[in-house]
Amino acid sequence: MKKMQSRTVNPQKENVKITETNLTSVVEFVLLGFSEIPRLHWFLFGTFSVIYLVILLGNGIIILITRAESTLQTPMYFFISNFSFLEICYVSVTLPRMLVDLWTQKGNISIFACATQMCFFLILGATECFLLAVMAYDRYVAICDPLHYPLVMSHEVCVRLVVGSWVIGMPVQVGQTCQIFSLPFYESNQINHFFCDIPPMLKLACEDILVNEMVVYVFAVLFVTVPFMLILGSYSRIISTILKLPSNTGRTRAFSTCSSHLIVVFLFYGSASISYLNTKSNQYEGTDKMLSLFYTILTPMFNPVIYSLCNKDVTEALRKFLPKLLAL
């Protein structure tokens, strides 16, 4: 019978329990987060707390006005409402945990909690990719085939598209999470990131990860590249149709209904693609953190602003709704 004993290591002056047989197997990780800039911890805590409140408030208002205002009872705003709810869920997977780590100045996280965070993060990320593609398809039908739009994008169809966007990635992402956490972690338990993500986790693995990296690339193609290509295809047809419209007013209105969605697509896909297609980089971990901050936190914060400033219907609805909300 192998002798079992416990010992402690001291990353960032915090004890982390590990079990020792012939090799030490990590049972707890440490999220390093922003430990390289300890003097800014309280500043970062205050900044990210404000950002989280802005995300909750901004996306919450978008959800309320799309449900309360009759002028926004259309498929496009049904998708925007669901997208705002998704953004709240998406940022809540990572940001509250990061705030706790900044407050306590501890980054200890169990393997189960780490795996759970990664699983939900991947599921919600895949959902965002597919929902953005669905929103592009909605704009394609509205502009390229307006006569059949009410029939093609009926409420039942919209609900199915949203449910499909949420469900389609779940089994695959659960399997991917299980595969990542089936790897042996012996040498280090320090995750140089502010949440449990695939690239920094693969860097801690103690065996050849070529197969795992190939799987990551395959899933990146399925859940990132394919929806992005569908979005590009939709907008190529949309732009071609808009340019054929006879009046400048019609072209301007058509572009305005698409501009906010396009901005969100490029903000999200740009930063996420660079991060996930660069799993081998050891030199630019600070850059990876900044990119992750962008698509996990800053993009959800910008979304309500983008949709309100680039959309006259939402702006008008806000003017009507905010006085009612403040009067309560």
Q: What are phi and psi of 294, to 5 degrees?
A: -65, -50
| Grouped pLDDT means (10 residues each) for the chain, 328 residues | 39 43 64 84 93 93 87 89 93 93 89 93 92 93 90 94 93 90 82 87 81 83 86 90 80 77 82 61 59 82 77 78 68
310 Cβ contact list (under 8 Å, min separation 6): 256, 259, 260, 263
Are the C-beta atoms of residues 107 and 30 closer than 8 Å to each other? yes
Are the C-beta atoms of residues 181 and 116 closer than 8 Å to each other? no
Are the C-beta atoms of residues 206 and 229 closer than 8 Å to each other? no
Q: What angle do CA 304, 306, 310 make, to 5 degrees?
A: 125
Q: What angle do CA 261, 263, 264 make, to 5 degrees?
A: 65
Q: Starting from the edge strand earliest in sequence, which strands make up the sheet with 5-9, in order?
A: 5-9, 16-20, 24-26
Indicate the SS3 state at residue 7: strand
What integer pLDDT is reported at residue 316 of this predicted model? 80
Are the C-beta atoms of residues 196 and 30 closer than 8 Å to each other? no
CA distance 68 to 74: 12
Tell me the one-letter amino acid at 327.
A
What integer pLDDT is reported at residue 183 of this predicted model? 84
What integer pLDDT is reported at residue 26 of this predicted model? 66
Q: What are phi and psi of 25, to 5 degrees?
A: -110, 120
Are the C-beta atoms of residues 200 and 188 closer than 8 Å to each other? no
CA distance 15 to 25: 15
CA distance 162 to 145: 21
DSSP class of 17: E
What integer pLDDT is reported at residue 307 of this predicted model? 75
DSSP class of 40: G
CA distance 304 to 157: 25
Query: Is the alpha carbon torsion for 252, 141, 272, 189 positive or negative?
Result: positive
Burial class of residue 65, CB neighbours in 10 A (0-12, 13-18, 19+): buried
Q: Which of 3, 265, 246, 296 is nearest to 131 (CA)?
A: 265
What integer pLDDT is reported at residue 5 of this predicted model? 39
Burial class of residue 56, CB neighbours in 10 A (0-12, 13-18, 19+): middle
Query: Is the alpha carbon torsion for 145, 147, 149, 152 positive or negative?
Result: negative
What integer pLDDT is reported at residue 189 of this predicted model? 82
